[in-house]
């Protein structure tokens, strides 16, 4: 499935981070380091658990804002212990929720799930439903990252129920105020109504944003599970809510996701239109990653609409954005790595100074305390090296994944270019095949028209015969071309049913009998008994007629053509063999290729369209079968295929 479908997950992750930021105490933006030092000093001096819990909460906020997630996790764990000591169960649950969120930021999803479930269970037990909804949204994101889609859907649906219920309750409370049930004095009532309406506006905005997020994520999860009905239902709701609230980001995401649903349910023009609209909005909002992935989806839709040049252009846009984002991320990673090496150097310098001090201490006093200090130093060094190695490893792995994706795009571009070249060669061959019969048709028609009074009736009949033969040749070529085109685009009807193979073979032989008798070729049907197979009767007749016509075309006078059938293991193998001129290995290798250009004249210089065998192979592909050719020059050929026996 397509990477752009995870964009909704990323946005809701940002929502959760903002939620975490509001749960903690607000701090001034000036001199965070100085504030952190003061708070750590307060922790060292104070034994009051309430004071310690407040300081730890503020330290967590500072660590999170500066990107020091390891310290944030350490402070939150200490805060959990402090809240246990003060019997503050609500603050304990909030800290567990925050731990789950921070662990998800550092992508330790197992720990994130454990803490998130602890918080959710507490909130649910105490009927704190807004907190339950937030916890379920966070857990939905976590379990999706753990590849447990069904569990993620379960949490998102639970959040959806709560959010919808909150939306209804807000409406009820607003109506109570309008009825004058929340106050006695008119002045107090007006003030209460004003305050309530202001808080309702804020709550409603947050609730609507969460609802749009949950509907979008549920729609994308169902899309990944190929449940298109439920995916479209949730994405439609998300789109309508995003439009009502003028949420431009989710308007872009839902349009592109809906386009993917339309594409997979066969509504290709509609998919193209809605994805194109979503790309326009994403470009306006500068959502570059969403734009990039949407271009890839639009390329797939264009190819299915038989627009290879358009698809190629969209892949070009995708590739350029991919390269740009890759280079930016690589530069960011390099800066981060260089920064980490700078930190390592400072740490190593500090350790060297500490080691010198310890050596001096050892010279003064050889006691147990000094040896323990040395051991602790080495432990700290190992922990630091492990931490920096882990950070560098994850960044290197991310760069590797980007490189692999880029290589995949290059392969897809090469395949698309090869497809365009093949189609160009194919059109060139068709143009050449049409030119020859049209030359004969126009030449003899012009000759008969300009010299009508001078030529004899026998010559006129001869000219008309050539004109008739050329017209039949052109018609046959165009008919095969149109049939092949419908098969390629999936617009040809395929109606498999029980078919008596003996009857189809007999009717096909009768259709070519006149051509065989003109060349004195014997036709045989070698069947031991009636065989019923599951096939599209019209396609099967076309395949047999083409194979028999080819066999007669390349068999000299006095030869024979035989249709035989053998059944085994629930499959019927049908073979058309002849005693004709045969084919060498080079001709066999080019037999079913569009650009093979294999159109040898028959033994009586019969002409062909060049598409007959290619069309037959397409029909067999639709039947999940394949025509196999075996031939020896001068000894004849055998063309075989198999079908399921009913």
Element (DSSP H or E) covering residue 22:
helix 7-23
Biggest distance spanned by C-alpha atoms of the chain: 133
**CA geometry: angle 271, 275, 279, nearest 5 deg:** 170
pLDDT of residue 409: 81
Decide if pLDDT at 387 tops 50.
yes
Strands 636-644 and 571-578: antiparallel
**What are the domain boundaries of the chain?**
3-30+88-305, 435-489, 497-644
pLDDT category at 436 given cuts 50, 70, 90 is low
Share the mean pLDDT of the chain. 78
Q: What is the pLDDT of residue 366?
A: 55
Q: Left (φ > 0), alpha (ψ -120 to 50) or beta: where does 569 sit?
A: left
Q: Which residue has the higher pLDDT, 185 or 555?
A: 555
Say if residue 189's pLDDT is above 70: no
Per-residue pLDDT band for 374 (boundaries 50, 70, 90) equals confident
Instruction: Name the pLDDT band for 1 (thresholds 50, 70, 90).
Output: very low
Please state, in angstroms and rounded to a whole number, the distance separating the CA atoms of residues 215 and 239: 9
Average pLDDT over residues 430-440: 66
Element (H, E) at 566: strand 560-568
* pLDDT score recorded for residue 190: 54
Q: pLDDT digit string (tens) for 209-261?
A: 888 888 888 888 898 888 999 999 999 999 998 898 888 998 999 999 999 99
Q: Looking at residue 176, what is its pLDDT?
A: 38
> What was the pLDDT predicted at 31?
60
Phi, psi of 497 (to 5 degrees): -155, 165
Dihedral pair phi/psi, residue 575, rounded to 5°: -130, 140
Spatial contact of 319 and 409, defined as CB atoms under 8 Å apart: yes
139 or 67: which leads in pLDDT? 139
Mean pLDDT on 22-50: 67
Please give the full DSSP string across 211-261, using - where no structure is assigned. HHHHHHHHHHHHHHTT-HHHHHHHHHHHHHHHHHTT-HHHHHHHHHHHHHH
- What's the pLDDT score for residue 574? 94
Treating both helix axes as pointing N-terminal to C-terminal, what angle do 612-622 and 537-553 enclose, rounded to 10 degrees? 150
The architecture CATH gives domain 497-644: 2-Layer Sandwich (3.30)
Q: What's residue 179's pLDDT?
A: 38
Q: For residues 4-16, give the mean pLDDT.
A: 50
Cα 637 to Cα 178, 187, 501, 526, 586: the distances in Å are 90, 102, 21, 17, 14
Kindly tell me if the per-residue pLDDT of 184 is higher than 50. Answer: no
Q: What digits encode the pLDDT tens for the residues 148-160?
A: 989 999 999 998 8
Average pLDDT over residues 527-539: 88
Q: How confident is the model at residue 38 (pLDDT cuts 50, 70, 90)?
A: confident
Nearest of 472, 540, 476 to residue 505 by alpha carbon: 540
Residue 572's pLDDT is: 93
Q: What is the DSSP letter of 599?
A: -
More confident of the two residues 529 and 74: 74
Residue 568: predicted pLDDT:
86
The predicted pLDDT at position 9 comes to 52
| DSSP string of 625-640, one letter each residue | ---EEEEETTTEEEEE
* Percent over 70 (pLDDT), the chain: 72
pLDDT of residue 537: 92
Lowest model confidence (mean pLDDT) among 78-82, 226-230, 425-429:
425-429
**pLDDT at residue 45, as a whole number:** 81
For 3-30+88-305, the fitting CATH number among 2.40.10.10, 3.30.390.30, 1.10.274.10, 1.25.40.10 is 1.25.40.10
Predicted confidence (pLDDT) at residue 608 exceeds the cutoff of 60: no
At 336 the pLDDT is: 47
Q: Is the pLDDT of residue 431 over 90?
A: no
Q: Check residue 358 and give its pLDDT.
A: 43
* Cα–Cα dist 205/200, whole Å: 8
Question: Is residue 187 scored above 50 in pLDDT?
Answer: no
Higher pLDDT, 572 or 37: 572
Judged by average pLDDT, the poorest of 171-180, 496-505, 604-613 is 171-180
Lowest mean pLDDT of 4-18, 49-63, 244-258, 285-299, name the range: 4-18
> How far are the Cα atoms of 288, 420, 424 from residue 302, in angstroms, in the given order?
21, 13, 18
Fold annotation for 435-489 = Helix Hairpins (1.10.287)
pLDDT tens for each residue of 467-509: 887 787 677 667 767 766 666 665 677 889 999 999 999 999 9
Q: Is 368 in a helix, a strand, or coil?
A: helix
């Amino acid at each position: 499935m397509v990477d752009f479908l995870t964009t909704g997950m990323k946005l809701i992750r940002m929502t959760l981070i903002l939620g975490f930021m509001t749960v903690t105490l607000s701090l001034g933006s000036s001199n965070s380091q100085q504030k952190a030092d003061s708070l750590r000093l307060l922790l060292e001096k104070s034994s009051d658990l309430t004071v310690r819990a407040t300081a730890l909460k503020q330290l967590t906020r500072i660590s999170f804002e500066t990107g020091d997630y390891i310290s944030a996790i350490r402070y939150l764990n200490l805060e959990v212990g402090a809240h246990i000591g003060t019997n503050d169960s609500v603050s304990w649950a909030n800290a567990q929720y925050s731990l789950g969120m921070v662990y998800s930021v550092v992508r330790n999803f197992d720990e994130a799930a454990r803490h998130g479930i602890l918080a959710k269970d507490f909130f649910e037990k105490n009927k704190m439903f807004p907190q339950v909804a937030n916890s379920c949204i966070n857990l939905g994101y976590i379990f999706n990252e753990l590849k447990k889609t069904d569990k993620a859907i379960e949490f998102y649906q639970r959040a959806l129920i709560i959010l919808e219920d909150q939306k209804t309750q807000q409406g009820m409370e607003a109506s109570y105020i309008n009825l004058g049930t929340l106050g006695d004095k008119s002045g107090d009532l007006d003030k209460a109504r004003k305050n309530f309406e202001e808080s309702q506006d804020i709550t409603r905005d947050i609730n609507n944003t969460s609802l749009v997020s949950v509907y979008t994520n549920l729609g994308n999860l169902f899309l990944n599970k190929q449940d298109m009905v439920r995916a479209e239902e949730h994405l439609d709701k998300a789109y309508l809510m995003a439009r009502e609230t003028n949420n431009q980001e989710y308007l872009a995401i839902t349009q592109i996701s809906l386009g993917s649903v339309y594409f997979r349910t066969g509504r290709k023009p509609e998919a193209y239109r809605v994805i194109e609209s979503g790309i326009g909005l994403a470009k306006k909002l500068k959502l570059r990653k969403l734009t990039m992935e949407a271009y890839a989806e639009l390329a797939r839709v264009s190819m299915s609409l038989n627009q290879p040049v358009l698809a190629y252009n969209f892949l070009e846009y995708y590739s350029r954005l991919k390269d740009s984002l890759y280079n930016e991320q690589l530069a960011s990673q390099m800066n981060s790595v260089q920064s980490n090496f700078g930190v390592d150097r400072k740490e190593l310098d500090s350790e060297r100074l500490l080691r010198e001090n310890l050596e001096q201490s050892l010279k003064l006093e050889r006691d147990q305390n000094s040896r323990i200090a040395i051991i602790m130093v080495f432990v700290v060094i190992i922990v630091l090296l492990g931490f920096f190695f882990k950070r560098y490893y994850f960044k290197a792995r991310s760069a590797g994944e980007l490189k692999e994706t880029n290589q995949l795009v290059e392969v897809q571009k090469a395949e698309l270019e090869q497809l365009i070249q093949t189609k160009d060669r194919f059109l060139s061959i068709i143009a050449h095949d049409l030119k020859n019969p049209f030359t004969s048709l126009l030449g003899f028609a012009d000759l008969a028209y300009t010299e009508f009074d001078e030529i004899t009736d026998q010559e006129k009949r001869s000219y008309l015969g050539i004109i008739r033969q050329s017209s039949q040749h052109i018609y046959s070529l165009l008919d095969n071309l149109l049939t092949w085109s419908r098969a390629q685009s999936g617009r040809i009807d395929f109606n498999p049913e029980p078919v008596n193979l003996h009857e189809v073979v007999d009717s096909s032989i009768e259709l070519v009998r006149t051509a065989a008798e003109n060349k004195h070729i014997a036709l045989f049907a070698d069947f031991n008994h009636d065989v019923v197979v599951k096939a599209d009767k019209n396609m099967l007749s076309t395949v047999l007629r083409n194979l028999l016509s080819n066999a007669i075309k390349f068999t000299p006078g006095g030869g024979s053509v035989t249709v035989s059938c053998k059944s085994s293991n629930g499959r019927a193998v049908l073979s058309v063999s002849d005693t004709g001129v045969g084919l060498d290995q080079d001709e066999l290798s080019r037999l079913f290729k569009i650009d093979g250009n294999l159109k040898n004249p028959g033994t009586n210089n019969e002409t062909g369209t060049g598409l007959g065998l290619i069309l037959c192979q397409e029909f067999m592909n639709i039947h999940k079968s394949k025509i196999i050719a075996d031939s020896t020059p001068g000894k004849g050929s055998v063309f075989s295929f198999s079908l399921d026996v009913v």
